[in-house]
Each structure stands twice: as C-alpha cells, then as structure tokens.
Amino acid sequence: MKTTVYKFSLFSFIIICTLFYNSSVPSHAANSDQLLVGYENNKSKEAIIEESSQVVHQFQNIPAMLVLIQPDKLEYLHENYEISYTENNLDLELTYDKSNKLEDHPINDTVIEQWNIEAIGAPSAWQESLTGENIKIAIIDTGISDHADLAISDGISTVDYTTSWKDDNGHGTHVAGIIGAKQNKIGIVGVAPTADLFAVKALDNNGEGNLADLVEAIDWAIQQDMDIINLSLGTSHDSQTLKEIIKKAYSSGILIVGASGNNGSESSSVSYPAKYPEVIAVSAINKDLLIESFASTGTEVELSAPGTEITSTHLNNLYAKFTGTSQASPHVTGMLALLKQKHPNLSNRRLREIIADNSLDLGELGRDSFYGHGMINYSQSDIKPPAEVSGVKVTNYTSNSITISWDNPDDKDLAKVNLIINENAQTSVSRVDKSTFTFFDLAPDSLYEIIIKSVDSSGNESEGFKISTRTKEEKVEDNIRNNQKEVNPKEVILKEEKPLEKKREESEESEQSNKKPIKNSQEKDTKKTPAKEIVKDNVRESKKKEENLKEVSIQDSSSPAKSPPSNGRKVSEEMNTPVKQKQALQAAPKENDASTIREIKDKSKKDNDITTNFKEIVAFLTIFLELFERFIGKLLSFS
C-alpha cells in the first residue's frame, strides 16, 4: 500500500512539474511545429484556416499567418491553392555583447557623464529646441520597465507568456534610455528626451524570441502609425515573412533602424533585419571613434554610432553600462527623431539621405563597409535651406513659350535651381549655367504659374519664388503665316490665266495622252478612216476659232478705261503676250484694279465653261465615229 502510494505520489509530482515547466517556458521554445504561411488570395487563406490544426496568429498588413499544420495537409495546400511560401518560425536574439558586466548605478541628483551624447552633437540640436517632440518611436525589444528617467506612452506584448510590456530582462529599458531619457537634471538624458516612446515586448526574459512575435510587433507598429522603429535584435536567417512586413512598414513611411550585429569576426556578417535595404544598418564605434571588433560589418552598413560602454536606464530604477551594436542603433533612432521634428513633412527616404549626407566621415573616404557613411553628428548637419532667387522676370513670351530670368542667391553651397511649371517638375539648372530658361510647347492664351526653388549641395531646397504669366493669344494670321505664304490676288489671277497659246498646246497634249485607240481583235491595221480624219480636222478648226474668240475677249476686257495707248497702237495689239497683260494691269489706276480683276475672272469663267462643253461634244463625236466605224466593218464582213 505504501509502495502504491509512493508510486502515485511520484507520478503526480512528475505531472505537476511538467505542467509547471510548460506554463513557464517562453513560447519560442515550443515553436518547432509552427509554420509561417503566405498566401495569394482569400480562397487560399480560407483553405489554410480549414486545413490547419490551429491558427496561432493572422497578420493584418501582410497576407500571412502563423499556423500549426500536419505535413500532408501542407502538401495538399501547395498542390491545390496559391501558397506564396512556408517557413519555420525561427528564433532570434538580442544584438549586445553577451560578455557585458552589469554595472548598476543608483539614481541621484548627479548627471552622469555621457561621452556618447557629446560625440554625436545632440546638445546642438537641443539649443534649437529640437528634442523629438511628438515623434512616435516603437522600441521592439524585451519591453521597458518603469523608471524615473523614462516616460512611456503605451505598449504591447506579442510574447505568449505575458500580456505585460514591462521589461523582465533590462535590455529594452537600456535602449529606451539612450533614445529618450528625460532631460530632468538627474541621471542621464537621451538623444530625443521628449519623444513618445512605445514599449513593444517581442523578446523574453532571456533576450530571445521568434520571427512570428517580431513580425506581429512590426505589424502593430504599422497600425499605430509609428514614425520610427528601433530593432536592436537580429538573426542570421533570412525570412520571407520578415522581409514582407519590413517592406510594408517602410512603404508606409516609417523609418526603420537596426543593429548590424555582434559577429564582427565574420565577413559580411550583418544580421537580419538590418541587412534588408529598407533598414538603416548601424555599426558600433568606441570613444576613439574607431570601429569595435565585435561589430558586424558589410556593404549593408549605412551609419555608425557610439556603442561602447554606454550608460543608460536599467531595471529597478537603476542605470547600467552596456556595449554592443544594440546600443549604437538607438543613437541613430534618436537623431532621426530630432530631424523628423525639424522637418515633419519630409519623407522617410529624404530624412535617411539627410542623416547620411551630414554624418562625420570615418575610415576610408566615402561610404565603406565598417562605418557606412560615417558617425551621425548633428553639428555637422546642414539642414538650412538656401536663400531664394531674386529679380525674377519674364523676358519674352509667345503663344507657345515663356522665357524667364533671375538672380541666384549668394549662398556658397548653392548647387542648382529647380524649375516647376504648373506643379510639374520641368528641369534643374546648374549654378554655372546662365540664370535664364525658356519653357516650350505651351498652350496659347493660357495662365502658367512658375516656381523657382534654390537647392544647396546638401539637398536642402527653399520654399520657392512664384511668378504667374500668360502666353500670347494665337491669331489666325499667325496660323496662315506658319502654314503658307501670303499671295497677291493679282498674281493669283494672272497665274491662273496662262498664255492662250500655252493653254491650247496643253489641251491638245492632254487629249492625245488620254486617247487610246480601240482595236478590233481581228484587225492588225490601226489606221483611221478618211471620214474620221475629216471630222477631226473640222473639230480642230472649230477649236482654233473659239480660242481666237477668247483671245479677243480677254484683250478687250484688259484694256485700261482711262489711259489711251501712248503710241497710237491698239490695245488688242499690246495684249498679245502674258507679260504685256501683266504690265498693263499693273499700270492701270489702282481704283480700277478690283473691277478689272472681276471682269477678267468672270470672262475666264465663261470661257472655261464654253471650253468644257466643247470638249465634251468632241469626245462624244469621237466615240460615236469609232463605234460607227466598227459597226460598218462588221456589216462588210457579213456581206
């Protein structure tokens, strides 16, 4: 009986211990059966839900979910539905030096010396009242604990074992202090002391986690319209799900800062997610502004920041000194908060360019794989736009073009001016060019607004000088002049009235070219009959008489009414040639020009009508004679 009781008690103890262990073990330790599944459409999504043993989480901003599913079910989904990818729910960890020794300092009225804050020039920004006011920063880490030197706006937990975003490791609290510890004359001060800090707990008390919890944390940050995300964590494994959520966050306008990692002994060792192009990868430097040996390096490194012996807030209202790229990354996050406050309307891409262009270059000249563009330094930043252009005026304008000129400002670093017409970027003019530009291909009689913005070598752009002007109205005469030359009406009439001899020759040539003999298939001889030749001779004689009649009519109508012949010769004799006709017409009094032209035109029209009718009669007779000839020939053949 005792033995039985002992065995039962031992069995109960094992069961209780197992249950206690399972309830206390962080969720990432039991993720071996969980899969991240991406899908193409709602039909595939519904199929995944139906075939899965359990849907652990559905993400809001990307088409993916975390599920428990049997291998055969997964194979079925791949064969029958549009599944984008499947991947294991991999582990990830913090990016700080694990050899760190905790050096706690109690809170007191003494301000702790911070070499890191002075090195990056943060006090220069504070003098300009830049403190990160109203900038929302999501610190995705181990959470953030309560501290007298910190003000936390809100938070969330994506880990399974707790719903609290409070820090149970200390790493997240340390990162939060570097970014935004309060400027309250005690302890330390962060780079952006009035920024809005949000605690997003995605790692456990050991500083470890998994991809699904990290993706869920970024998903939440997108929904909450965060301005900046800090990721002082990493993994050596690429992930499609992580890549998709990072892209979504960046396309939403969020700045993402990530620690490069602490695997400096390996080449090209930058960790994910810092390795993604959407993330600003940060390496660590020491007090001598030299790269730390532990810092992961590679072409993805974009900036460097202090990461050695950094004092910041810690658990239980204390301060601690840590080393690692985890400490370098929040310096960049805080600096971006200052710049975001300075330029709230600039895009995440533009702010990224500014902080890089104005960093303190270290190592090799230009960007390199150790320091990136260099160490961030506000005192090195030039974010003041150049002065505006002056003396803007319109120097010329037509129905389709506008030419303007201006005077460039005296800024030494002026690089160019940007020209914008009706809100459409037109071109850039370098400072070395003349201060003038012509806009072509414009609409006639249209109002145009032109903006000229000066730009310095740091990319700072002025608000712009505006000027409005209108193109000329396009006239009908302009269209005629562009398409054809003006013609004198006299020349048109004289050109139309060709010499009579020339007209007769052209008429005969036209008739001969249009006539084609109609041959009989049985006849080899193409000679015309004498009867036909007689008819043609009569036709030609009639034509000559008609043309002589026209010549007399034109000569009579062209005679000046008030100017008698100077040498007693008749007008009809003077008008025998086209040249004489033109000379006579030009010599006539101007007041009779219009009536003379009308008489010539009327006469010419009548003559043309007679000629046209006569030609039609001749053509008809010619065809009739030919048909008659063929008819007589056939009658003769029958006989």
Within 10 Å of residue 59's Cβ, how many Cβ atoms? Answer: 22
Alpha-carbon span 370 to 304, nearest angstrom: 8
Residues 6+ apart with CB under 8 A from 28: 89, 91, 204, 208, 209, 210, 213
Token pair 């070598």 is found at 457
Using CB atoms within 10 Å of the CB of residue 221, give its burial: 0 to 12 exposed, 13 to 18 middle, 19+ buried: buried
Give CA 127 to chain center in angstroms: 37
Report CA-CA distances (Å) from 126 to 133, 195, 255, 464.
11, 13, 21, 28
Alpha-carbon span 167 to 159, nearest angstrom: 12
What is the CA 286 to chain-centroid distance, rounded? 41
Cis peptide before 273 (omega within 30 of 0): yes
Provide the phi-psi class of 110: left if phi over 0, else alpha when psi is between -120 and 50, else beta.
beta
| CA–CA dist 235, 639 (Å, integer) | 117
User: Residues near 112 by Cβ (< 8 Å), separated by ≥ 6?
Assistant: 105, 187, 188, 311, 319
- Residues 140 and 233: beta-carbon distance below 8 Å: yes
Task: Give the separation between CA 24 and CA 105, rounded to whole angstroms.
Answer: 31
Q: Is the distance from CB of 618 to CB of 542 less than 8 angstroms?
A: no
Give the whole-angstrom CA distance, residue 382 versus residue 126: 15
**Distant-in-sequence, close-in-space partners of 497: CB < 8 Å, separation ≥ 6:** 554, 578, 581, 600, 604
**Eight-state DSSP code of residue 187:** B
Residue 325 to residue 389: CA distance in whole angstroms? 45
Say how far residue 161 (Cα) sits from the centre of its chain: 46
Q: List Cβ neighbours of 33 (8 Å cut-off, separation of 6 or more).
A: 68
Burial zone of 222 (CB within 10 Å; 0-12 exposed, 13-18 middle, 19+ buried): buried
Question: Which residues are catalytically annotated?
Answer: 141, 171, 326
- Reduced to 3 states (helix: H, G, I; strand: E, B; else coil), residue 65 is strand
**Nearest CA among 169, 152, 243, 176 for reference residue 209:** 169
Scored b (16 or more CB within 10 A) or e, 304-326 reads bbbbbebbbbbbebbbbbbbbbb
Residue pair 157/165 in contact (Cβ under 8 Å)? The answer is: yes
CA atoms within 13 A on the CB side of 393: 4
Distance CA 262, CA 259 (A): 9
**Cα distance between residue 370 and residue 496, in whole Å:** 87
436-439: strand order across its sheet? 390-397, 402-407, 436-439
Task: For residues 226 and 332, give the distance between their C-alpha atoms in angstroms, rounded to a whole number.
Answer: 16
Backbone phi, psi, residue 416, to 5°: -165, 175
